[in-house]
Amino acid sequence: MGLFYANPCFAQRPAHGPISQTRYTAADLGYQLVWEDQFDGDVLDPQKWEVRGVGPRGLAFVSPEAVQVTNGCLQLKAFKKEDRILLGAVGTQNHFMTRYGLFECRAELQKSAGIWAAFWIQSPEISNGEDPARYGAEIDIMEFFKKLGPDIVSHNVHWAYGPHQKTTHGMQSYLKEVSEGFHTFAVEWTPEKYVFFVDGYKFYEVTIGISQIPEYMILSMEAPNEAKELKNATFPDIFLVDYVRVYRKKS
C-alpha cells in the first residue's frame, strides 16, 4: 500500500499490515533525541509530567491513585474502588510542548476490552477554531481497542473540535501479538504529513489535518461513555510504559 491520503468522509478502515517491510529507527529517518523519560525512580517526574484531567472521564474517574512509577516503568492503572472506576492519565502540557518531530513510546498494552490504552498528542488551541494549521489537531499515535482483536492497534487524527469537527476516522494496523509484551508506537509529524509506526514498521501516511503549532503529549487509560461497552472489561488492568522519547531532525 502506498501513500495514504486520508479523507474525513471515509469510514473506519479494515486493518492491514505494514506498507513496507523496512523497519525504521529514528537515526534512519534523520532524527536525534531531544527529550525522554525512562521512568527511573519511584515517582512521576514533576519537571516532565503531571496527572492530567483529574475528575470524571467517560464512565470512570481520573485519579492520581491510578498513576505509579516503579521498576523503571510508568503504570497507568484501571481499577474499581468502591463505586468508581479509577483511571491513570498523565500529560506534559505545562512542562514540554513542541512542534514536529518523531514521538515514540515503548509500552505493554492493557489486557482487557472495554477500557483502552492511548498515547497521543494534543493541541491546547483545538477548540478555538477549525483550521488545524492554526489551532492544531489531536494526533492519536496509538489506541488499543482490544474488542477489534488482539493484534490490532488504531491511529487517528481529529481537529476543529465543535459542531464541525473533522477526523480521518480510525486507521487500523495489524501486527501479530502486538498485545503481548512490549512494543514501540510512534508518529513522525512534519509540516506535510503524519506517519504512523508500530515496532518501526510504517503503517500509514496522512496528509490532512496537519497541525503547525506546538502541542503536548498524553499517556492515558480511557473508559467508554456507555455501560454496555464495559461488559468485557476486567479489573484491575494496567498500561505499562517503559519510556517516552521525542526526536527532532538533525540540523
Tell me how far apart the alpha carbons of residues 229 and 59 are, in angstroms, rounded to a whole number: 10
CA–CA separation, 53 and 143 (whole Å): 18
Average pLDDT over residues 102-123: 97
Count other Cβ atoms within 10 Å, centred on residue 22: 10
Q: Answer yes or no: is 74 within a domain.
A: no
12-57 tens-digit pLDDT: 668 999 999 999 999 999 999 999 999 999 999 999 999 999 999 9
| Domain total in the chain | 1
State the Cα torsion 35-40-43-45 to the nearest 10°: -20
Write out the three cell numbers for 229: 461497552
> Is-contact 78 31, C-beta < 8 A?
no
What letter represents residue 190's amino acid? T
Residues in the chain: 251
187: domain CATH number? 2.60.120.200
In which band, very low, low, confident or very high, does the pLDDT at 6 lie, cut at 50, 70 and 90? very low
Please check whether residue 243 lies inside any domain of the structure: no
Cell of 10: 471515509
Residue 58, H or E segment: none
Please spell the DSSP secondary structure of 188-208, one letter per residue.
Answer: EE-SS-EEEEETTEEEEEE-S
Q: How many CA atoms within 13 Å lie on the side-chain side of 137?
A: 27
**Amino acid 5: pLDDT:** 31
Above 50 in pLDDT, residue 7?
no
What pLDDT does 147 receive?
94
Percent of the chain with pLDDT over 90: 92
Residue 69 lies in a domain: no
User: Which residues lie below 8 Å from residue 163, measured CB to CB, with a gap of 6+?
Assistant: none
Secondary structure element (H or E) that encloses residue 132, with its range = helix 132-135
pLDDT (0 to 100) of residue 12: 60
Strand 60-62 to 84-87 pairing? parallel
Quick check: is 247 in a domain? no
For residue 39, being part of any structural domain is answered with no
Please check whether residue 76 lies inside any domain of the structure.
no
Residue 100 falls inside a structural domain: yes
Interatomic CA distance for residues 246 and 36, integer angstroms: 6
Owning domain of residue 133: 90-238
Which of 185, 122, 128 lies closest to 160, judged by CA?
Answer: 128
Q: Compute the distance between CA of residue 213 and CA of residue 29 in angstroms, rounded to an integer.
A: 22
What per-residue confidence (pLDDT) applies to 169? 87
Q: Is residue 106 part of a domain?
A: yes
Residue in 144, 214, 221 with CA at minimum distance from that of residue 179: 144
